[in-house]
Amino acid sequence: MAESFNPQDMVLRFRERADAVQRRGLPPIEGADRQRFIEAARLDFSDYAMIGDATATLEGGILRLEIDLRPPSN
């Protein structure tokens, strides 16, 4: 698997997933279920976007994702 795996393609797929989460609408749910759906979407977006911003490398069969979580400097 390591020979055919492209880590940059994986990062792009996560970027696309983050975009899809932002574009999807709310299903017709109410009350507590609605809040749970919104919170799940927020977490999905955060996770997908973080991996979508990663620098990915494959070294000796080991996938490394580097994600800079430092706040932007002004």
Identify the three-state secondary structure at position 1: coil
Quote the crossing angle between the two packed helices 7-23 and 31-52, to the nearest 10°: 150
What are the pLDDT digits (tens) for 7-20? Answer: 999 999 999 999 99
Name the β-bridge partners of 57: 64
pLDDT digits (tens, 9 = 90+) for 15-74: 999 999 999 998 898 999 999 999 999 999 999 999 999 999 998 889 999 999 888 887
Following CA atoms 50, 8, 72, 45 in sequence, which dihedral angle do they give, to the nearest 10 degrees?
-20
- Residue 64, strand partner residues: 57
* 59 half-sphere exposure, CB direction, 13 A CA radius: 5
